């Protein structure tokens, strides 16, 4: 256990637009937020999947890109000093005797909080697993979706699959260390940075990297230890000796550990009460695309509204007995002082 416990009013899980705006609504009510996100920056699906694509249904913005919306939200919540914890996934939530919560992330950080707001959109981004039968038994032993320590791949026969920057970067970085590197891609055209592609082709020309055009057809090995990767190519199926497989097919969203937190779910979404967007566990709220209620529309707009109602309920949990006076930002000097505009 970590000795550094972070104590806060609210932990928001998910730093997409809805999680960010929740910080604003909570901030107006003087609630301090920490945000946890599996990505390395704010914006969630908006910034990860379509940063440059226009969104047309945000009130007051006839058109705005996912990245611009994220940037504006970051500016809007700056007065409240939210603290971000990126590249983290919440592994567990435990309800303590006093009604507060203890959260532990996959980096062993511990948060003690009175309120948890799940704003995780479609779930957490996780590596895409190629549809290869039996791949699960090799994962973590011979099949890896990321490289944490390059040394772990020294002297190994590597098969790296993919045509994007991750596949190319790791081909270039691991080639000097590995016993052999075979790069596999479905076509002889790469999405990665042109300089990386050129460098890779130079290594192929020198015989330091083997390039195969095809897809994974199957894995051979025993007890999670890979011995060969079978490839489907235009010339038929071939077998490449391999002790490690690194597939880089990008990210997809999965509900992840949220499914194990004991919350009432409805078709893989968190069931909520629409009065305050509370879940089946008092003190845990769910807003945005991850929740479900009759009539739900998966719109950023809906998530903003849900965040406003959630914040009122969260305030009553963090400061029980304190009278909450509803105020407008246009007329309340108190709110304007919090925002730093007067």
Partner 1 sequence: MKIHVTDQDGKQHELEALEGWRVMEVIRDWDLNIKAECGGSCACATCHVYVDPDWLQKLAPATDEEEDMLDTVGDVEDNSRLSCQILMSDDLDGLKITLAASAAKDEQAA
Residues that bind partner 1 (CB under 8 A): 45, 49-50, 53, 122-123, 128, 130-132, 161-164, 185-187, 189, 191, 215-216, 247, 249-250, 252-255, 259, 265, 267-268
Comparison of 82 and 123: residue with beta carbon closer to partner 1: 123
Considering the complex, what minimum distance in angstroms separates the CB of residue 262 from partner 1?
Answer: 11
108 vs 220 by CB, closer to partner 1: 220
* Cβ-based nearer residue to partner 1, 119 or 300: 300
C-alpha to C-alpha distance for 241 and 247, rounded to whole angstroms: 16
For residue 165, give the H/E element and its range.
helix 165-174
Rank residues 97 and 267 by Cβ distance to partner 1 and give the closer one: 267
Closest to partner 1 by CB, 82 vs 247, is 247
Here the tokens at position 149 are: 């320590």
8-state DSSP, 150: G
Instruction: Record the tokens describing residue 66, joined without a space.
Output: 């996912």
Tell the smallest beta-carbon distance from residue 98 to partner 1 (Å).
29
Shortest reach from residue 297's CB to partner 1, in Å: 12
| CA atoms of 157 and 183, how far apart (whole Å) | 11
Residue 134 vs 155, nearer CB to partner 1: 134
Rounded to whole angstroms, the Cα distance separating 17 from 296 reads: 17
Q: What tokens were used for 291? A: 């929740």
Closest contact distance (angstroms) between CB of 251 and partner 1 is: 9
Q: What residues does 248 pair with on adjacent strands?
A: none
The answer to whether 212 and 182 have CB atoms below 8 angstroms apart is yes
- Residues 128 and 24: beta-carbon distance below 8 Å: no
Q: How far is the CB of 267 from partner 1 (least distance, A)?
A: 7
| Shortest separation between residue 178's beta carbon and partner 1, angstroms | 22
Helix axes 165-174, 194-205, angle to 10 degrees: 40
Q: Which token pair is 122?
A: 């479609």
Q: What is the DSSP letter of 213?
A: E
């Amino acid at each position: 256990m970590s000795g550094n416990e972070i104590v806060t009013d609210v932990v928001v899980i998910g730093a997409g637009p809805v999680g960010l705006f929740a910080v604003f609504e909570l901030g107006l009510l003087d609630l301090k937020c920490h945000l946890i996100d599996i990505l390395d920056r704010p914006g969630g699906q908006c910034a990860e999947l379509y940063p440059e694509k226009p969104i047309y249904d945000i009130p007051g913005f006839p058109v705005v890109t996912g990245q611009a919306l994220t940037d504006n939200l970051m500016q809007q919540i700056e007065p409240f000093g939210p603290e971000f914890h990126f590249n983290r996934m919440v592994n567990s939530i435990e309800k303590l005797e006093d009604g507060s919560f203890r959260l532990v992330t996959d980096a062993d950080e511990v948060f003690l909080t009175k309120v948890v707001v799940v704003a995780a959109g479609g779930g957490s981004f996780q590596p895409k697993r190629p549809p290869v039968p039996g791949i699960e038994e090799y994962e973590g032993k011979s099949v890896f979706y990321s490289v944490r320590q390059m040394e772990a791949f020294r002297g190994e026969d590597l098969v790296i699959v993919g045509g994007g920057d991750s596949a190319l970067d790791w081909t270039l970085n691991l080639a000097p260390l590995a016993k052999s590197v075979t790069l596999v891609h479905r076509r002889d055209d790469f999405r990665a940075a042109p300089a990386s592609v050129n460098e890779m082709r130079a290594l192929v020309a020198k015989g330091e990297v083997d390039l195969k055009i095809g897809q994974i057809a199957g894995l051979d090995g025993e007890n999670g230890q890979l011995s060969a990767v079978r490839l489907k190519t235009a010339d038929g199926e071939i077998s490449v000796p391999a002790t490690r497989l690194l597939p880089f097919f990008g990210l997809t969203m999965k509900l992840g550990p949220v499914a194990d937190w004991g919350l009432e779910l409805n078709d893989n979404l968190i069931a909520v009460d629409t009065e305050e967007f509370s879940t089946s566990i008092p003190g845990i709220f769910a807003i945005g695309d991850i929740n479900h209620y009759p009539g739900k529309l998966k719109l950023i707009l809906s998530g903003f509204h849900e965040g406003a109602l959630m914040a009122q309920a969260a305030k009553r949990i963090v400061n029980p007995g304190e009278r909450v006076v509803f105020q407008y930002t246009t007329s309340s000097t108190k709110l304007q002082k919090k925002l730093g505009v007067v």
